[in-house]
Amino acid sequence: MIQAFGLTSNPRKELPPAVDDVSFEARAGRVTALLGASGAGKTTALRLMLELQRGRGLTYFRGRPLHRIAHPAREVGVLLGDVPGHPARTVRGHLRMLCAAAGVPVRRADEVLESAGLESLRDERLGALSRGMDRRLGLACALVPDPHTLVCDDPAGALSAQDARWLHGALRAHAAQGGTVLFSTADPKEAARNADHVVTLEKGRIVADQEAVEFSRTRLRPRVAVRTPHAARLAALVTKEARTARRSVEVVPEGGNRLAVYGSTCADIGETAFRNGILVHQLADEVGDMGPGAGAVPAARNQERGEADGDRAQVAGAQAAGAPAPPRPASSGAPQHPQADLRQAPATEGGADTTASGTVRHRTPGPRRALAPDGVAHSAAEGPGPGSGDAPDALDASDASRQRASRPFGARLSGSASAVRAAAVTLPPPISVRSAPSPLRPLRYELRRALGVGTGFVVGAVVLLVSAVTAVILARIGHTPQARLLAAWPQQVPLPPAALGAGLLGALAFGDEFRHPALAADRGTVPRRMGLLTAKLVVSAATALLLAALTVGCDTEVLRLFYGSELAQAPADWPALSAGWLGLVVGCAWSGVLAAGVFRSTSAGLAAVVAVPVVVVPLVQKVWQGPSVRTAAGFPMRVREILLTQWPFGGERYVAEALRLVAQPVGGAMTLSLTTLLCAYLLTTLRSRVR
């Protein structure tokens, strides 16, 4: 169940806010449509509800605001805009990556593929999908964590009739299982056909909040579709009889032998045709376009809504005082929507929901119940309110205290709209943009993200090829030390190809996240969590070590093939050289990861890698060549003297080698760069959390 109160966007320059004091409910087990023309504020209202945009107001999802939910993706599935994802990633690979992010078993990807009808496209690239398949994939992505609520922004926009029917059928099936569905649309016919409840927005304000049947009756123009070979004669007769009876009837020719008659019924038109001997091929009731004045609520409609709000306030006051609620007047007997009787009784044990008709709907994750906030909905002791689609659960102490704190705001919203504006002395609570969720299984997510696209394999192959060619050329020219020859590192180049490739792969680890943010749909932000950063550092380091080992091995074999074994021998001090080589490659990879995370760009990450030997190393050399610089010579021996013990397994030798590497200009520059980038990343992380 969704309860939105006082949603108001921040005012724009010399323009009113896009959304102003929007309050409505979307009940569980039902489909709710947010209707409005382009610019009415539908998307802004959804973004305020999902805490993707700053503003004011309050939105409860089953009794809790979204920022109080530990894992929002498991509560609310969102479909806004296109599916964010790398165009080269496969459909199945993208869903498996989201399974790791949501912390659900990987078999869930195959389940949603089957339910979305995408089994035959599981190996298709995201960039090759049609608009209809893209929408299906977007819904499948939203359903991966099995959320209770679905929020969709114009899901059927630009879709064919067949794809639109499938999409709304899937939304209807989710609601029939006890879930809550809210979608926005600009087509009133689409809202009337596919929703149980319609909330109409105009210029950022709610102008109607109705059941779908009442919406079709009052906000749309019912018409009679007629097809006859004597269309002109029948139109003249219907118009003449309506003028005689002083009835408002409008006959609109639609070309050929078709007529659209507004203000009449099938029975009246059929009798007219029968009396005059006119052959009729088709006679059917249809829902036409919005009639004149539909954009504004009539005065009588406002009066009815005010009386209804007053009745609700009276009921709430009586229940708060402990007195029985006054009887509600009987309805006028309006025709009911076929889906309007999907009322959900209290959920039974074992994850089954029972409807009013006695049928049981089973739901795998368990019973779906709405947590009703105190002061906004009915309390648990009173039971579900009239027409409520959920039975409230018992609240723990923390939830109860939180809801008691929000009672004054909820009490102000329980009356009529005019009473709210008159009594509200403070603005609704501000809405802060919530941070993007971090993957629940970051290492598994990062592995699937890196292996799901062929970019890493292509970069690795290019690095090995360039290194082999460079090693052969250097050996041909001569005057190159053996260590640089095996690493394919000319003295005129600041970094070898393997280090540049490792830096590029590290920069892509965060650069692709910002280009295709799979974890933050339509937000453009990437979660700044230490778990995700650690996973990226671990995967990039492992990739860099593998690339470094493969480069040396490939260069050795190529040199042995072209020039014999004398050029393929390992240097005498190979342990220290190997440690420096691996440290350089891993440092370049980490520099790319941190720089891309700070500057949100792959190019910036690669530029930071190249800047280490070009800019930072000369600065470090100048500083360390000064006369007052002290060295850490003899550090391992002094530590052993202080601790009065021996280093295990000859550890002082390894410590001395590590210090010697750091003391070199390249090692010191790399260490300084990594420290600076890590501090910058932590600073931007803290700033994003403070906001």
136 and 106, same domain (yes or no):
yes
Q: How confident is the model over 518-536, as a mean pLDDT?
A: 79
Residue 675 counted as domain residue: yes
CA 393 – CA 388 distance, rounded (Å): 14
> Distance from CA of residue 498 to its chain's centroid?
36
Residue 330 counted as domain residue: no
Looking at 19-23, 523-527, 582-586, 606-610, which range is the least confident one? 523-527
Domain hosting 657: range is 442-690
CA 612 – CA 672 distance, rounded (Å): 9
252 and 375, same domain (yes or no):
no
pLDDT of residue 628: 53
Which among 487, 504, 505, 486 has a CA at the least distance from the CA of 496?
487
Which among 27, 32, 18, 38 has a CA at the least distance from the CA of 157?
38
Burial track 507-541 (b if 16+ CB lie within 10 A, e otherwise): bbbbbbbbebbbbbbbbebbbbbebbbebbbebbb
**pLDDT over 90 at 447, yes or no:** yes
> Distance from CA of residue 81 to its chain's centroid?
10
φ/ψ of residue 289, rounded to 5 = -80, 170
Handedness of CA 562, 564, 570, 572 (dihedral sign): negative
Burial track 635-644 (b if 16+ CB lie within 10 A, e otherwise): ebeeeeeeee
Looking at 39-48, 98-107, 188-197, 624-633, which range is the least confident one? 624-633
208 and 354, same domain (yes or no):
yes
**pLDDT over 70 at 191, yes or no:** yes
pLDDT of residue 230: 93
pLDDT digits over 163-185, tens only? Answer: 999 999 999 999 999 999 999 99
Retrieve residue 642's tokens.
């202080």
Residue 351 counted as domain residue: yes
386 and 499, same domain (yes or no):
no
pLDDT digits over 500-520, tens only? Answer: 999 999 999 998 888 888 877
Retrieve residue 300's tokens.
């009588």
CA 236 – CA 549 distance, rounded (Å): 89
CA 328 – CA 442 distance, rounded (Å): 54
pLDDT of residue 270: 93
Retrieve residue 254's tokens.
């639609």
Q: Which residues contact 422 (CB under 8 A, 6 or more apart)?
A: none
**pLDDT over 60 at 396, yes or no:** no
8 Å CB contact between 479 and 459: no
CA 562 – CA 641 distance, rounded (Å): 52
CATH code: domain of residue 356: 3.40.50.300
Q: Residue type at 436?
A: A
**pLDDT over 90 at 275, yes or no:** yes
Residue 138 counted as domain residue: yes
**pLDDT over 80 at 9, yes or no:** yes
Residue 572 counted as domain residue: yes
Work out the pLDDT band at 328, boundaries 50, 70, 90: very low
Domain boundary among 146, 166, 188: 146
**Sheet with 258-262: strands ordered across:** 250-253, 258-262, 222-227, 282-287
Which among 459, 549, 553, 466 has a CA at the least distance from the CA of 502?
459
**pLDDT over 80 at 475, yes or no:** yes
Domain boundary among 254, 269, 287: 287
Residue 414 counted as domain residue: yes
CATH code: domain of residue 226: 3.30.70
210 and 228, same domain (yes or no):
no
Q: Which residues contact 267 (CB under 8 A, 6 or more apart)?
A: none
pLDDT digits over 572-610, tens only? Answer: 778 778 888 898 999 999 999 999 999 989 999 999 999
CA 131 – CA 208 distance, rounded (Å): 32
Q: Which residues contact 549 (CB under 8 A, 6 or more apart)?
A: none
Handedness of CA 484, 486, 490, 494 (dihedral sign): negative
**Number of structural domains, the chain?**
4
CA atoms within 13 A on the CB side of 210: 25
Percentage of residues in the chain having pLDDT higher than 70:
73
602 and 535, same domain (yes or no):
yes
541 and 679, same domain (yes or no):
yes
Which residues on adjacent β-strands are paired with residue 353?
Answer: 361
Residue 107 counted as domain residue: yes
Domain boundary among 382, 398, 430: 430
549 and 515, same domain (yes or no):
yes
64 and 98, same domain (yes or no):
no
Residue 359 counted as domain residue: yes
398 and 476, same domain (yes or no):
no
Retrieve residue 354's tokens.
């029972």
Looking at 180-189, 212-221, 252-261, 397-406, which range is the least confident one? 397-406
Q: Is the pTM of this model over 0.75?
A: no
8 Å CB contact between 74 and 115: no
CA 249 – CA 262 distance, rounded (Å): 6
pLDDT digits over 647-665, tens only? Answer: 565 555 666 666 666 666 7
- In order of 91, 452, 601, the CA distances from 124 in angstroms are 6, 12, 27
CA 314 – CA 301 distance, rounded (Å): 20
94 and 68, same domain (yes or no):
no
66 and 100, same domain (yes or no):
no
Q: Which helix (H) or strand (E) holds 640?
A: helix 635-643
Q: Which helix (H) or strand (E) holds 431?
A: strand 430-431
pLDDT of residue 254: 85
Q: What is the mean pLDDT of the chain?
A: 78
| Neighbour count for residue 262 (Cβ, 10 Å) | 16
pLDDT of residue 170: 94
Retrieve residue 272's tokens.
């007219």
Supply the DSSP symbol for 61: E
pLDDT of residue 281: 93
